[in-house]
Every structure is written in C-alpha cells, then in structure tokens.
Structure 1
Amino acid sequence: MVDPHAVHRVVEAAGSHGLVLEPGGGEGALTLALAETCKEVISYEVDPRLAGRLASRTRDEDRITVVRGDFLGARVPREPFAVVGNIPYAITSKIVSWCLEAPSMTSATLVTQVEYARKRTGDFGLWSLLTVLTWPEYSWKLLGRVGRESFRPVPAVDSAILGIDRRPVALLAGEPLAGYRAFVEYGFAGLGGSLDASLRMRYPAHRVAAAFEAAEVRPGTVMAAVHPGQWLVLFDRLHPAEPPGR
C-alpha cells in the first residue's frame, strides 16, 4: 500500500490500541502509521528481505517490533490486542480464522479483496455461514473501499477495509452458543431448499411458522438471505431457554 490517504483510512478505521499485531508488514507504510496512534506494534513479515528492510527502517522506533516470520505462527498475547494489516490475499481465510480463535483479540481491521469483505458483511444482500456462526460474538463491518491504484504493484482487483469487532458482551455463550452453531449449520445445509422447509424437517410446522413471523422472515427465504440477527430470533423461538429450576 503506497497511497498515504489509503493508509490513513486504515489507521483511522482501526482506532487507537495499546497493542497491535500486524500481519505482513511489507515496506512498513502502515506499520509506521500505526505506531503514531498505538502504544506497541508487532509487525510480522515472512519475506526475509522485506523483514530486514523493515527492521532497519524502524530500528529507532521504540514502539515497533519486527518479527521475521509467519503471522499464522504468532503467539497469541495474553493481554487484549488488535490485529491491523494489509494482508496477503491468498491466506485471508487463514488469517481471519486465526483472529477469531484468539481469545484476547478485541478487533481486526484488515485490507482484503473487496469481494471477500462484501461477502462477509452482507453487502451482496446475502450472509455467509461464517458470519452467521460468529455473530453472537463478533460484528462484521465493511469500513470502506480501497482502489487498486493505492498499491504497488497494482493488483487485478479492488480492495476493502473489513472490520471484525468482538462484542463487549457475547449475545450467546457456553451451551447456548454451541446449540446455536449446530442450529445454523443445520439450516445452511439446505436440505429442504428454503430455510423454513429445512427447519420443518426437524421442528413442528406451526412452531417454524411462528418463529418466522417473530423474526420477520418470509417463508421461502433461502438461508443466506436471512440476517444474522434473524437467525438469533429463530433459534430463540425454536430453542427457548429452560426456565430457572428446571
């Protein structure tokens, strides 16, 4: 990323943090900008040549530590931290998985291919399985687009800023969360074509109809067109919590 305006937009979207892990530091444009707003930046660069240049460039920056290695092998910090990076697009899914599995991560602000960011945030009018599964714990937002001219070499596609934020209080946790995930995975299997048809294969038709009315989902809607918040309503109506003392 060589466009200073694009770098500023990423840093602004990420906000200020105590500790930031950066996947793929590259030439260091984003690394240096993050160090201006964050207390500590640990930048991972797998390319030895780039890592050496970045380490040399930032040797006088007390807030920056350059690690010559793969971010996917990074130790998860015990203290709260954020992930911010212009990531290698070929391993986007792996980096996102690493972030979601890190218990102390508070947010991830990632420059990805625009299609990936749109898919994960419902910008196509459809919601991915990963987004719906993780919705009780994380919010997904499209924070802006970045044109291909902001990079060197110029890629074949445009990019976007994807924001993943851990919710301060999870909407579901423990056994209810596990039950919700199993419910979503069953719904996305598409056994009946539409979501209500699939659910009627497991639940009484009148309960499915009442749940869809409560969630304001039209019968016949395909599973990917159901908003994550509506999935939560459907789960709540079809799997009501046990009353105290039961």
Structure 2
Amino acid sequence: MRSVLAAEDLPLVRPEARRRARLSQNFLTDGDAVRLILRCSGVRPGDLVVEPGAGEGALTRPLARRAGRVIAYEIDPALARRLSRRLAADPAVRVAGRDFLTAGPPAEPFAVVGNIPYARTSEIVRWCLAARTLTSATLLTQLEYARSRTGGYGRWTLRTVQSWPEFRWRLGPRVGREAFTPVPRTDSAVLRLERRRTPLLPPSALPAYRALVAEGFTGVGGSLRATLSRGSRGSRGSRGSRGSRGRPPGRVRAAFRAAELAPGTPVGHVTPAQWLALFEELHPAGAGERAPLPDGDPDRGRDG
C-alpha cells in the first residue's frame, strides 16, 4: 500500500501549484517514492546534497535528516518563500530561491538528488556532468529519458557515450505517474550518474576520446565506419572534406574487428565499451594503459 507523506514533510499541494504545469512542475506526494529515491541516492551522514527543484519540500526534509546538509534550489519565488518559512528552524537546510542552473557547484564533494522538471532534464544532466566536485546525481526523470540514456532501447546517446569513461549511467526503479500531483502523462524512473573513482581512460586522453565520439555521431560518411574513415587526423578544419586526410581504411576495419562491430552498425547501436575499443585501436598513444579500477568496480569492458 502506498503511503502518503506526513504533513510535516509535505503540506497539501495548493491549487496554484496545479497551474504551474508551464514550469514542468509535478510535485512528489508519495512517501514510498521518496524513500525509494533516498535509498537509491546512497547519501550518508555528513554528505553535502544539492537539490534542484525542491518544490514543496517532499525530498528536502528527508534528505536533511539523512545527510545533514542540504542546499535546496527552487526557482518559483512563492514556493521558495514557503519552503524557507517551513524550514527556517532547520540548520541542516539552506533554501536558495534561484535557478539551480545559474549556480556554481560547491567547492567540496557533493551529491545531487532531486525530482527535476521534465522540461529541464537535459540541462540539469549537463550541469551535473560538468561539475568537477560532483560525486553522484540521483534524478527522478521521465521513464523514457532514463531508459534511452542508459541503453534501455538498445541505443546509446552522444552524451552518455562521451561521458562514459568518467561516469556510470544506471537505470533505477520505476515510479508510477500516480505518485505525483498534478499527475503527469508518463511514468518516471530514477536515473543515477556516478562518477568513477578512476576514469576508464587516462585524463589526458579524454578530450581525444570525446572528439572521436563527436565525429562518429556526425554521420557525414553515411555509416560509422565510413565516417571514421573520412575523418581528418589531427585536423579541426573541414573534417571529411576532399582536402582532409582520412584514416587508413584498413586501420578502421581492424578497429571494428577489435570492437566486434559489423561494418554497417548504426552509430547509436555502438555501446560505450565498443567505443572504448575503437578509441584504443585508433588512438593507441592517447589511450595508453587503461587505469586500474578499484576493487569491486565492475564496469570495465561492460556495455552498461
């Protein structure tokens, strides 16, 4: 049986909140869903947590109890004022009445946990990936978004692949649409981004890896193998133009064999592990030796 949040954690959603659909606000009102997100977040006492889109505070107070330090961002002025009044006596919470995306990341390690607006998911994910001190992000997103970014449809996106050497992308539990007010049109899911303690490639190789992936996703050659064969080595100019110097076709074919890729594999079907194999064949000097992973890290060479 689903439990409803206690009154102290989440007051009844007021009628004006229902009119905030234009801000892509769907308020979490299911206590079981809140506890699920807390478990998935893995936050511990003493952790610093940044919460984007705190809303009515369904997650804010439980996060403060578990972690002890929360910065809660809320862009809606009325909601921010209300949340500030309710939590004024809680020294573990600081309410920031501003757009989370305009804030800089904390200087110390921190985690992001939030029920985020669907319409701003990509921007919030981009912010998290760029934050150097971020340790993890636990985001409640549209189910389709979470599945598509974690290979759930057998396809992989540019952002996921480019960040894979530094971040694990994990699909967490599903949360039904009935857990929100107003009720959205689709179910949600927990999306987990976890910074790897040791990147899968040396830091010096990451820019070249990201450039290779970006080149492959342009599709200028019609197929990934043709695109990589046309690409210029070391040139930032007219990639793929007649004047550019492409990679030797034999070398690209060998890289595809090493990655166990069929010649006509669509770029979106190439897994992160296969991209790493392609990079190590096409940029052996840049890839070097893969950094050793800490004990218990299962992700080297896995597709997700």
Which bin holds the TM-score, normalised by the shorter protein?
over 0.9
Q: 1:23 to 1:243 in 2, by over 3 A?
A: closer
Amino acid at match of 2:33: A
Count of residue pairs brought into register by the alignment:
244
Deviation beyond 3 Å, 4+ runs, structure 1: none
- Residue number in structure 2 paired with 1:14: 41
Contact 1:80–1:104 (Cα < 8 Å) also in 2: yes
Contact 1:193–1:222 (Cα < 8 Å) also in 2: no
Q: Percent identity?
A: 54
Name the SS for the 2:36 alignment partner: helix
TM-score (normalizing by structure 1): 0.94
Q: Who wins on radius of gyration, i.e. which is larger?
A: 2
Name the SS for the 1:241 alignment partner: helix
Contact 1:89–1:113 (Cα < 8 Å) also in 2: yes
- Residue number in structure 2 paired with 1:45: 74
- Residue number in structure 2 paired with 1:204: 248
Displacement after TM superposition at 1:14 (Å): 0.5
Amino acid at match of 2:67: C
- Residue number in structure 2 paired with 1:5: 32
Mapping for residues 133-148 of structure 1, pairs under 5 Å:
133-148=162-177
- Residue number in structure 1 paired with 2:181: 152
Distance 2:227 2:90 in 1: 57
TM-score (normalizing by structure 2): 0.77
Tell me, yes or no, if structure 1 residue 179 matches structure 2 residue 208: yes
The equivalent position to 1:217 in structure 2, one of 257, 261, 268, is 261
- Residue number in structure 1 paired with 2:9: none
- Residue number in structure 2 paired with 1:131: 160
Structure 2 runs not aligned, ≥5 long? 1-27, 231-245, 289-304
- Residue number in structure 2 paired with 1:81: 110
- Residue number in structure 1 paired with 2:63: 34
Distance 1:155 1:220 in 2: 39
Name the SS for the 1:27 alignment partner: coil
Contact 2:259–2:277 (Cα < 8 Å) also in 1: yes
Contact 1:112–1:160 (Cα < 8 Å) also in 2: yes
Contact 1:82–1:105 (Cα < 8 Å) also in 2: yes
